[in-house]
């Protein structure tokens, strides 16, 4: 039985509310525990390293259990249980182990959700954004709420808020307990991507290497330039509001413009975004405009990637999303977080964003030269989308 759209919307909301606590504020929690920039980069890279395998593990567990909702609920509850232990430790080795376990539980959830969403939408997959925007709404609500809490209560509000969001996610996932996965073609699941698929995964990897400077260090960067917790939360929320606007209106654009063009636009806008953050760190107006560019760098890139991944990688939806997540959100953030922390310490925070721009530019070159427009068009055709289940 397929999940209803309401259940999927609720799951997106709950999960990304937790992300809305973690991404903007977790580096502040780690800093309050006494960890420096290099240690924070190492911790974030460790969490991202677990994400290399977490999506594939979660997809496999879901398939074995035959009940996606139950598997996701258990993973979210275990992640909630680990948060207080991470927040209590002052030992880097202990924090590394606990962070890895947390990431294994938490970072494998979304590929399964995205696969369920695409299955529900069927040949109308271009409307994926109308489901995914509920995750962005959850992110905005959480990031806006936690900023004032930190200002009035202190950084201890961060782990508490994260635990509550994770427990809510687990409860919402139980609403999907009736979701039974159809038997899968194991030959198709095990298929090795062709050359175009590998290059596409390379683009995803480079794109997230650049984004690591944002996801891991943007809040610290703003704090270094004198912005308050409330302003920091508002800037994060502005970026997500921009992505909500894109997700809501994305369907005609996705149907009418080639996937390769959309990928290149997303990468090009992101290069300009990182350069603007590096050049004007004290200008609230420029920083706000850069956050609006999140609609391209994240929302546009993510939407196109979700739609083309199964056809381009030659596998089913669930494993395709897991591979993209492993290459980008996993390996890309591992390398990017460590690199960003090192550049911050050696050359300064502004050069960290120059580095991000150069890596993203390289991703655009790879996409332009190595990805075939005809292959991308075939990957997004309605017929191919219908096959990739």
**Residue 209 pLDDT class (50, 70, 90 cuts):** very high
CA 163/CA 85 separation, integer angstroms: 11
> Any residues with CB less than 8 A from the CB of 308 and at least 6 apart, and which?
200, 259, 376, 379, 380
Confidence check: pLDDT of 6 > 80:
no
Mean pLDDT computed over 333-343: 88
pLDDT of residue 383: 35
**Residue 58 pLDDT class (50, 70, 90 cuts):** confident
**Residue 130 pLDDT class (50, 70, 90 cuts):** confident
* Domain annotation for the chain: domains and CATH numbers: 5-382 (1.20.1250.20)
* 348 φ/ψ sector (left φ>0, alpha ψ -120 to 50, else beta): left
**Residue 187 pLDDT class (50, 70, 90 cuts):** very low
pLDDT of residue 131: 83
Give whole-number Cα distances, 114 to 83, 127, 290, in Å. Answer: 25, 12, 27
Whether the CB-CB separation of 352 and 202 falls below 8 Å is answered with no
Percent of the chain with pLDDT over 90: 34
Structure token digits, residue 160: 């508490």
**Residue 386 pLDDT class (50, 70, 90 cuts):** very low
Highest mean pLDDT among 43-57, 113-127, 295-309: 295-309
**Residue 353 pLDDT class (50, 70, 90 cuts):** very high
pLDDT of residue 230: 82
Whether the CB-CB separation of 211 and 356 falls below 8 Å is answered with yes
Question: Lowest mean pLDDT: which of 64-73, 113-122, 177-186, 370-379?
Answer: 177-186
Higher pLDDT, 366 or 319: 366
**33 DSSP assignment:** T
Degrees (nearest 5) of the Cα angle 321, 322, 326?
120
Mean pLDDT computed over 352-361: 96
**Helices 195-224 & 301-313, crossing angle to 10 degrees?**
160
Give whole-number Cα distances, 141 to 20, 120, 171, 260, 370, in Å. Answer: 8, 26, 18, 33, 39
Mean pLDDT computed over 124-143: 82
Helix (DSSP H) and strand (DSSP E) numbers for the chain: 19, 0
Closest by CA position to 112, among listed 147, 65, 79: 65
Mean pLDDT computed over 50-59: 83
Higher pLDDT, 356 or 46: 356
CA 78/CA 10 separation, integer angstroms: 20
Percent of the chain with pLDDT over 70: 88
Q: How far is CA 353 from the centre of its chain?
A: 19
Question: Lowest mean pLDDT: which of 26-30, 149-153, 190-194?
Answer: 190-194
pTM recorded for the entire structure: 0.76
- Scanning 122-177, the segments in alpha helix (DSSP H) are 128-153, 157-173
Whether the CB-CB separation of 331 and 211 falls below 8 Å is answered with no
CA 176/CA 249 separation, integer angstroms: 27
CA 266/CA 315 separation, integer angstroms: 25
Mean pLDDT value across the chain: 84
CA 241/CA 214 separation, integer angstroms: 17
Mean pLDDT computed over 28-45: 86
CA 296/CA 312 separation, integer angstroms: 21
pLDDT of residue 161: 94
Whether the CB-CB separation of 363 and 297 falls below 8 Å is answered with no
In tens, the pLDDT along 210-228 reads 999 998 899 889 999 989 8
pLDDT of residue 288: 96
Compute, in degrees rounded to 10, the torsion defined by CA atoms 345, 347, 351, 356.
Answer: -60
Counting Cα atoms < 13 Å in the Cβ hemisphere of 157 gives 15
In tens, the pLDDT along 227-281 reads 987 888 889 888 888 988 998 888 788 888 888 899 999 999 999 999 999 999 9
Structure token digits, residue 313: 């990688």
pLDDT of residue 1: 38
Confidence check: pLDDT of 18 > 80:
yes
In tens, the pLDDT along 269-301 reads 999 999 999 999 999 999 999 999 999 999 999
């Amino acid at each position: 039985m397929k999940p209803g759209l309401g259940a999927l919307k609720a799951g997106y909301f709950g999960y990304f509310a937790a992300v809305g606590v973690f991404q903007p504020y977790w580096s502040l929690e780690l800093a309050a525990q006494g960890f420096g920039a290099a240690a924070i980069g190492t911790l974030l890279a460790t969490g991202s390293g677990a994400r290399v395998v977490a999506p594939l593990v979660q997809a496999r567990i879901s398939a074995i259990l035959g009940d996606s909702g139950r598997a996701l609920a258990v993973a979210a509850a275990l992640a909630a249980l680990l948060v207080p232990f991470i927040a209590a430790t002052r030992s880097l080795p202990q924090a590394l182990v606990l962070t890895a376990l947390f990431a294994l539980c938490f970072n494998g959830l979304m590929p399964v959700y995205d696969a369920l969403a695409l299955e529900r939408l069927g040949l109308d997959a271009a409307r994926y954004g109308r489901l995914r925007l509920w995750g962005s709404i959850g992110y905005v609500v959480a990031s806006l709420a936690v900023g004032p809490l930190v200002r009035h209560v202190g950084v201890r509000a961060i782990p508490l808020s994260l635990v509550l969001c994770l427990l809510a996610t687990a409860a919402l996932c139980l609403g999907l307990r009736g979701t039974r996965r159809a038997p899968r073609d194991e030959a198709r699941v095990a298929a090795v991507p062709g050359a175009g698929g590998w290059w596409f995964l390379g683009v995803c990897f480079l794109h997230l290497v650049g984004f690591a400077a944002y996801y891991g260090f943007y809040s610290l960067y703003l704090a270094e330039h004198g912005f308050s917790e409330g302003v920091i939360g508002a800037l994060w929320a502005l970026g997500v509001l921009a992505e909500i606007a894109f997700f809501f209106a994305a369907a005609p654009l996705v149907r009418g413009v080639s996937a390769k063009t959309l990928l290149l636009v997303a990468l090009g806008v992101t290069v300009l975004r990182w350069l603007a953050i590096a050049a004007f760190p004290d200008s609230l107006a420029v920083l706000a405009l850069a956050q609006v560019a999140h609609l391209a760098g994240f929302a546009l890139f993510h939407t196109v990637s979700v739609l083309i991944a199964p056809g381009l990688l030659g596998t089913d939806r669930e494993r395709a999303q897991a591979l993209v997540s492993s290459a980008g959100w996993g390996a890309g953030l591992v390398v990017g977080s460590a690199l960003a922390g090192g550049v911050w310490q050696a050359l300064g925070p502004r050069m960290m964003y120059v580095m991000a721009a150069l890596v993203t530019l390289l991703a655009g070159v790879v996409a332009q030269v190595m990805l075939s427009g005809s292959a991308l068009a075939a990957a997004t055709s309605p017929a191919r989308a219908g096959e990739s289940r």
